[in-house]
Amino acid sequence: MNRNVVPIPAPADSGGDVNAAASDGLPKRFGKYTLLRKLATGGMAELFLALQKSVAGFEKLIVIKRILPAMNADKAFIDMLLHEARIAATLSHPNIVQIFDVGQVEGTYFIAMEHVHGEDIRSIVRQMKKKAYPTFPREHALGIVMGMCAGLAYAHEKTDLDGSPLNIVHRDISPQNVVVTFSGDVKIVDFGIAKSDNKNTDQTKSGKLKGKVPYMSPEQARGDNIDHRSDIFATGVMLFELTTGRRLFKGASEYETLKLICDRDYPRPSQVIAGYPPALERIVMRALEKDRDERYQSARDMQHDLEVFIRDERVAVSTVAMNEFMQGLFADKLASQKEALLQGKQLAEIIDSQMINDPAPSSEYDMNGARLSQASILSMPAASRTVTEVTANRPRKSALPWIAAGLFVLAGLGVGGGFLYLRHQKAAQASLAPPATVAPAPAPKGTLTIESNPAGASIWINGDLRAETTPATITQLPIGSAIDVKLTKDGFEQAKENVTFTDQKLDAKISEKLAAGSVSLAVNVLPAVAQRGAVMLVDGKKVDGFSASNLSSGNQHNVVVSSPGYAEQSVSFLGSPQESKHLDITLVKEAPHKAHVSSGGTSNAAPTGSGKLNVGASGGWCNVTVDGAPKGATPVAGLDLSAGAHKVTCTTSDGKTQSVSVNVAPNDTTRYRFSL
């Protein structure tokens, strides 16, 4: 179990919780900490809400992860855990949850971690569905992934004291391990299970610490050696899902999901969301490259490209706006927690005051195995959270009634007064032992057989890409509601069908003959001299020459043309059935990088001055915007702009848009023509 972010469960039956607490012998001392309540038990560790108190009124609620006895007996595992937990404890970054302490008490190893007041991405998405939010706000999705990139870049680039890289890899980047706090911050959790270079210990059993299958990189899914680029792939999966609202890898089983990751072509975001920004799609698809050498080579590079996109598109990414979003989304939960936080703090003080005279534990060690004195105090980072506003009355007489009352209220509050919120409640819920009930008969499910000619078409069910390809039989489909089925295959038109299962109709079959893609494309690269050495990509694939055929209609296609000495240009278009699309793509020479020495002696190669831009259109007219500012209908001439790149958008009367990045040369007139 690797959890340091703990939710407040709904109030439970107090009697059951008191019994559970009593059976665990809690509260009790554990080294310098007081264990108040067990929160959950996993395959490797138990999780506890704990209180740390020290001199001068220092106090803090934290989370203790105590390694299970079976794992304590595994020396290789403990050696690896202590080595890598020591590495994780050195990480101090606003986007990473802090590990405070690693050590041993009474022969049991433990990790002490920061507590975070917020919700993980999975919980946020579930709450949005409950409140009928249509989509995840793109600005917040980008803000979250930017924070992830910043935290990962810091961890990946971390070195030891002599400057040698530690080569830290998280290995489990997923929605459950990224938390957004109620103040709008983004934090990566569970760096305690991270992998790093381990020169002194045996890592043969590190396979016990695995990531979540839908967010594994291809090399991780195959069991190959992994490096930091595996975390970048997982970040790309989350960026895809947050900005499209669709799962990327969702098979009927873990095996089918692994096949999707390793063997299948990945859908492009524009196949899921019409009008998806091409520049953002390029970032997503680069992060999702199967070949890690083609992927982003650092999280910082991905962060940089996201920052450029946010700046160019003027996306309103803001911590303040994220704070307001979280406060509004979880308003009811926050209101119910407010009183629980105060009461829980008072009860924790009362309980801990009864433990002051308990004997010290027989042994207590720091991360390096050295014995600690009873008065030793941890240095806590500012990111940790304490409450000092509440002063509890400390009884001087026997406190057994207080302890009993404290346990009773603690049980009703869920987790020691609700200081933390619990993501995994199974262990606590199991202790309630609800009365036995007769399990209802399973609801009937539908079975769908799908065939296509040619075979090998991708299958989409209600917008989600399946692991299977045609021919396939899909079971466990819901009854009573229409199911949208779509078949896609490169070079062919998509086919769509609707199927509805009922109690009387539990089997259905779809057989489709796929028509060849009916959209053709011809590109005229201007000026003619730029065609020499030019390369054209259509939907990320290189084509011969400057034409393409058998493109599917109804899908957005992305065309990228590059040539040595010219700035790369990108154009997106939506083809209609049987359409022959003609595009004029004008390449602009890259501005010469003339070194310029400032008064301080530093070199600055950025273009200076201003130039003019003329924008035209062939085959019709469109409204032009430059960097988001409207400039009127084509033709538009003589626009005074600063030298450098500008985003130019052409919007037709029926709402279709094309966007390109145009480099305006200093002291010159740059021309660009859209093909409509």
The pair of three-digit structure tokens given for residue 224, joined into one six-digit string:
């190959």
Of 227-231, 456-460, 464-468, 499-503, give the lowest mean pLDDT range: 464-468
- Model pLDDT for residues 416-448, shown as the tens digit of each residue: 333 333 344 444 444 444 455 565 667 789 999
Q: For 155, phi and psi rounded to 5 degrees?
A: -65, -45
Could you please report the per-residue DSSP string of 544-609?
A: STTEEEEEPTTSEEEEEEE-TTB--EEEEEEPPTT-EEEEEEE--BPPP----B-TTS-B--S--S
Residue 657 has pLDDT above 60, yes or no: yes
Cα distance between residue 564 and residue 571, in whole Å = 18
Cα distance between residue 170 and residue 175, in whole Å = 13
- What is residue 196's predicted lDDT score, i.e. its pLDDT? 64
- What is residue 673's predicted lDDT score, i.e. its pLDDT? 80
Cα distance between residue 433 and residue 425, in whole Å = 14
Q: Is pLDDT larger for residue 356 or for residue 333?
A: 333
CB contact at 8 A, 468 and 452: no
Cα-based angle 185, 187, 188 (whole degrees, multiple of 5): 165
Tell which CATH classification among 3.30.200.20, 3.40.50.720, 3.40.50.300, 3.30.565.10 matches the domain 14-115+329-430: 3.30.200.20
Of 337-341, 420-424, 540-544, give the lowest mean pLDDT range: 420-424
In what helix (H) or strand (E) does residue 404 lie, and over which residues does it extend?
helix 400-413
- Mean predicted lDDT score pLDDT of the chain: 76
Cα distance between residue 48 and residue 20, in whole Å = 13
Considering the entire predicted model, what is its pTM?
0.56
Residue 485 has pLDDT above 90, yes or no: yes
- What is residue 554's predicted lDDT score, i.e. its pLDDT? 77
Residue 307 has pLDDT above 70, yes or no: yes
- Model pLDDT for residues 59-70, shown as the tens digit of each residue: 787 888 888 887
The band of 557, judged by pLDDT with boundaries at 50, 70 and 90, is confident
Distances (CA, A) of 3 to 63, 256, 286, 628, 674: 9, 27, 31, 44, 53
Other CB atoms within 10 Å distance of the CB of residue 76: 13
118-316 is a CATH 1.10.510.10 domain = yes
Q: What fold, for 604-676?
A: Immunoglobulin-like (2.60.40)
Cα distance between residue 282 and residue 78, in whole Å = 42
Angle between helices 278-287 and 299-313 (to 10 degrees): 170
For the chain, first and last CA: distance in Å? 57
CB contact at 8 A, 193 and 209: yes
- Report the pLDDT averaged over residues 491-506: 91
Of 92-96, 274-278, 643-647, give the lowest mean pLDDT range: 643-647
Residue ranges of the chain that CATH labels 2.60.40.1120: 446-513
Residue 14 has pLDDT above 70, yes or no: no
517-587 is a CATH 2.60.40.10 domain = yes
Q: Is pLDDT larger for residue 175 or for residue 394?
A: 175
Could you please report the per-residue DSSP string of 7-30?
A: --PPP--HHHHHHHHHHTT-SEEE
The band of 24, judged by pLDDT with boundaries at 50, 70 and 90, is low
- What is residue 48's predicted lDDT score, i.e. its pLDDT? 85
The band of 37, judged by pLDDT with boundaries at 50, 70 and 90, is confident
- What is residue 577's predicted lDDT score, i.e. its pLDDT? 86
Residue ranges of the chain that CATH labels 1.10.510.10: 118-316
Angle between helices 14-23 and 400-413 (to 10 degrees): 120
- Report the pLDDT averaged over residues 159-183: 89
- What is residue 437's predicted lDDT score, i.e. its pLDDT? 54
Residue 190 has pLDDT above 90, yes or no: no
Of 73-87, 382-396, 400-414, 637-651, give the lowest mean pLDDT range: 382-396
The pair of three-digit structure tokens given for residue 265, joined into one six-digit string:
């072509």
Residue 457 has pLDDT above 80, yes or no: yes
Cα distance between residue 536 and residue 551, in whole Å = 15
The band of 510, judged by pLDDT with boundaries at 50, 70 and 90, is very high
The band of 193, judged by pLDDT with boundaries at 50, 70 and 90, is low
The band of 670, judged by pLDDT with boundaries at 50, 70 and 90, is confident
Q: For 583, phi and psi rounded to 5 degrees?
A: -125, 135
What are the residue numbers of the active site?
172
- Model pLDDT for residues 260-305, shown as the tens digit of each residue: 999 888 999 999 988 899 999 999 999 999 999 999 999 999 999 9
- Report the pLDDT averaged over residues 99-123: 86
The pair of three-digit structure tokens given for residue 633, joined into one six-digit string:
């209908």
- Report the pLDDT averaged over residues 129-143: 91
The band of 363, judged by pLDDT with boundaries at 50, 70 and 90, is very low
Q: Is 654 exposed, middle or buried (0-12, 13-18, 19+ CB in 10 A)?
A: exposed
- What is residue 232's predicted lDDT score, i.e. its pLDDT? 97
Q: Is pLDDT larger for residue 672 or for residue 299?
A: 299
> In this prediction, what percent of the chain has a pLDDT beyond 90?
28
Q: Is pLDDT larger for residue 10 or for residue 60?
A: 60
Residue ranges of the chain that CATH labels 3.30.200.20: 14-115+329-430
DSSP E strand boundaries for 435-494: 446-453, 458-461, 464-469, 472-477, 482-488
User: Does the bond joining 635 to the residue before it have cis omega, within 30 degrees of 0?
Assistant: yes
CB contact at 8 A, 449 and 510: yes
Q: How many CA atoms lie within 13 A of 524 on its CB side?
A: 11
Could you please report the per-residue DSSP string of 326-392?
A: HHHHTHHHHHHHHHHHHHHHHHHHHHHHTTTTSPPPS-EE-TTSPBPPTT--PPPPTTS----S---
In 3D space, the residue among 141, 157, 335, 160 whose CA is nearest the CA of residue 235 turns out to be 141
- What is residue 195's predicted lDDT score, i.e. its pLDDT? 65
Cα distance between residue 521 and residue 526, in whole Å = 16
In 3D space, the residue among 553, 554, 566 whose CA is nearest the CA of residue 525 turns out to be 566
Residue 102 has pLDDT above 60, yes or no: yes
Of 13-17, 549-553, 629-633, give the lowest mean pLDDT range: 13-17
Residue 602 has pLDDT above 50, yes or no: no
446-513 is a CATH 2.60.40.1120 domain = yes
